[in-house]
Amino acid sequence: MQRRSFLQKTGLTGLALTALPQLAISQAYDYSILELMGKADIELFGDGFQLKKAAHDAFVAMKKAAYSDGIDLKPVSSYRSFERQRSIFERKFLRYTDDQGMEPLAAIDKIVEYSTVPGTSRHHWGTDIDIVDGYRKVEGDVLVPSKFAEGEPYADFKKWMDENSKSYDFHLVYTDTPGRRGFKYEPWHYTYAPISIPMLEEFRRKNIMLLLENEEFIGSDHFTEGFLRNYIQDNILDINTDLL
């Protein structure tokens, strides 16, 4: 074999080896619209929380490691169905509009600072989990960004997660990266990337806009095309870039 042709062949082999796993991953997963939108009856695991098997196993391993370092990784919220998200959204919509007199679109904008439009929550996937440190006594709401800052109750939790979560494939989704749009900084919200990356990929392949236009719940009549376009661009896609 001539050297030139040998190099060409090995070059091609190298390319095939790097290209194939990607291909294999995107073909191996075929998530249905129902599953992506929290409407499927999926198998979940956990004691006091609910995640898909691989995410559950990784979380348990991470919890064990954190425990030996004096941190109690306590799940606050994990899997959430479409129906559950719908009741959260509708309750907030009615509170802001009926009780507080806000305009519907302003109310929706306020809801999507922290809460999702039903059908678009990453919590529908069984891969995402909100976590705090169970060892810390905290007054009032626990999911408050300032409580994770230096000198605050969850500072040690945050430091431990910054240093260790990635070795268990858990990544922060809504980072404090300057200029990031969409959902505000959530230092408690982690995702199990090996499953949620292909799920987001699959979700993007579906026509999210059309799926949302077809949903009927309190407040959904007020979704404009502009709102939905921005929501998909900012809230669904402007996340930690490691997860895209």
Contacts with Zn ion by CB under 5 A lie at 130, 189
Q: Which is nearer to Zn ion, 174 or 223 (CB)?
A: 174
- Shortest approach of Zn ion to residue 123 CB, angstroms? 6
SS3 of 51, please?
Answer: strand
Q: Which is nearer to Zn ion, 97 or 187 (CB)?
A: 187
Q: Which is nearer to Zn ion, 38 or 97 (CB)?
A: 38
Q: Which is nearer to Zn ion, 116 or 220 (CB)?
A: 116
Rg (CA), the chain: 21
Q: Collect all residues with Cβ–Cβ distance below 8 Å to 191 and sequence separation of at least 6.
A: 122, 127, 128, 129, 170, 171, 173, 243
- Shortest approach of Zn ion to residue 128 CB, angstroms? 6
Its sign, for the CA torsion 126, 129, 135, 137, is negative
Q: Which of 189, 148, 160, 145 is nearest to 63 (CA)?
A: 160
Q: Which of 131, 134, 155 is nearest to 143 (CA)?
A: 131
Kindly state the tokens that stand for 153: 């109750």
- Shortest approach of Zn ion to residue 28 CB, angstroms? 26
Query: Among all residues, whose Cβ is closest to Zn ion?
Result: 189
- Shortest approach of Zn ion to residue 196 CB, angstroms? 12
